[in-house]
Amino acid sequence: MPQQLTFAQAEYAAKKKVTRREQFLAEMEQVLPWSALIALIKPHYYREEDRGAGHPPVGLERMLRMYLLQQWYSLGDEALEDAIYDSQAFRQFLGIDLGRESVPDATTLLGFRRLLETNGLQVQIFETIKALLRARGVMMNQGTLVDASIINAPSSTKNKAKERDPQMHQTRKGNQWYFGMKAHIGVDLHSGLVHSLTGTAANEADVNQTANLLHGEEKAVYADAGYTGADKRAELKGRDVTWRIAMKRGKLKAMAEGPLKELTTRAEHLKAKLRARVEHPFHVVKNRFGHRKVRYKGLIKNTGQLYVLFALANLVIAKKALLA
């Protein structure tokens, strides 16, 4: 016998407008490789023989869905718990009926995240989604764009330890000082999708991470002036790639006026136009997902979260191709 709808469900089903949140979650429902992700996590999750005398644990798929909601909407454990009560779209995505069951609490969410961190599953989630994109022919190997962006960290010392996170560092960009970490990414020239990632303190020079951002099959590498000299580094010397590194502004400005400067300026504009694609994943993570400040202490936990965020950003960028 079919279950009777609650008043809230009936009202939700009768509404005419589909919100942007509902549309986004419906699209992610279709493009995420659910079976592959569940198979990845399942060996590390709760097993029936481990069950004690307490309440039965929350199902793996629901916990994964809750974890993904946290990443898409930049919600802490307690904030997500409250948001599920407030949002029918969230409950629909999770398959939760408040009239018949309770919402998993913040402690359960914390335990799931620690399970992912302890077993290195965040990196594997990134690799699983990358494999899907390659299998669908969305990600190519012809060229790589490299770039880095600062993720801010709390700089206040008004905490229990009376100190800032020792693994985060201060750095200057232009005339502005920042405190936090850097996300370094390697992006596919053809699709704009992230294929490699590292996390460092904010004061790490961009060029130091270049070798970690290349997959080895690219024919060309595009980068801004911060990567000047990358081709001469020991770990990169002899690579069979064409280096398209931007000229420093001061050097271009100092050139004598004439045809050579005009030609060089046009070439630099063309390189900049191609490099612009590397900004899209950062835009998705920072602006659409709201991840502008680190959530945890230490580089390992925050870099782990970045792997998941950029994996999800890849799905957003490739959404039209995957849905087609």
pLDDT tens column, 88-132: 999 999 998 887 778 888 888 999 999 999 999 999 999 999 999
Asked whether residue 305 is assigned to any structural domain, the reply reads no
Q: How far apart are CA 278 and CA 186, in angstroms?
A: 8
Determine the average pLDDT of the residues in 250-266.
Answer: 82
Among 87, 119, 151, the domain boundary falls at 119
- Could you give the number of structural domains in the chain? 2
Burial 74-106 (b: 16+ CB within 10 A, else e): bbebeebbebbeebbbbbbbbebeeeeeebbee
pLDDT band at 173 (very low <50, low <70, confident <90, very high): confident
Kindly provide the b/e burial profile for residues 235-264, where b requires at least 16 CB atoms within 10 angstroms of the residue's own CB. Answer: ebeebebebbbbbeeeeeeeeeeeeeeeee
pTM: 0.90
Q: Look at the chain and count its residues.
A: 324
Asked whether residue 130 is domain-assigned, the answer is no
Residue 165 lies in a domain: yes
Within this chain, do residues 172 and 87 fall inside the same structural domain, yes or no?
Answer: no
Residue 113: strand, helix, or coil = helix
Contact 130, 311 (CB under 8 A): yes
Write the burial class of residue 118 (CB in 10 Å: 0-12 exposed, 13-18 middle, 19+ buried): exposed
Residue 172, SS3 per DSSP:
strand
DSSP 51-112: --SSPPPPPHHHHHHHHHHHHHHT--HHHHHHHHHH-HHHHHHHT--TTT-PPP-HHHHHHH
The Cβ of residue 115 has, within 10 Å, a number of other Cβ atoms equal to 16
Quote the CA–CA distance of 39 and 34 in Å, as a whole number. Answer: 8
Q: Residue 210 domain-assigned?
A: yes
Q: What is the pLDDT of residues 202-239, one digit of tens each?
A: 999 999 999 999 998 999 999 999 999 998 999 988 88
Question: Is 88 contained in some domain?
Answer: yes
Residues facing residue 223 across a β-bridge:
245
Answer yes or no: do 204 and 250 share one domain.
yes
Domain-located, residue 159: yes
> Is there a single domain that holds both residue 160 and residue 288?
yes
Interval 270-315: pLDDT, tens: 888 888 999 999 999 999 999 999 999 999 999 999 999 999 999 9
Q: Is residue 126 part of a domain?
A: no
Judge if 158 and 89 occupy the same domain. no
Output the average pLDDT for the chain.
Answer: 89
Structure confidence at residue 180 (pLDDT) = 95
SS3 (DSSP) at 184: strand
**pLDDT tens digit string along 10-38?**
555 556 688 999 999 999 999 999 999 99
* pLDDT greater than 60 at residue 54: no
pLDDT, position 7:
46
Q: Which of 127, 172, 134, 179 is nearest to 153 (CA)?
A: 179
Domain that holds residue 42: 7-119
Per the structure block, which two tokens stand in for 292?
């502008």
Residue 154 shares a structural domain with residue 232: yes
Q: What is the pLDDT of residue 46?
A: 77
Say yes or no: 148 and 115 in one domain: no
Q: Are residues 156 and 13 in the same domain?
A: no
Residues 167, 287 within the same domain:
yes
pLDDT at 309: 98
161 vs 128, higher pLDDT? 128
Residues 44 and 166 in one domain: no
Are 275 and 158 within one domain? yes
Backbone φ and ψ for 96, nearest 5 degrees, come out as -100, 130
Please tell me the number of Cα atoms within 13 Å of 290 on its side-chain side. Answer: 9
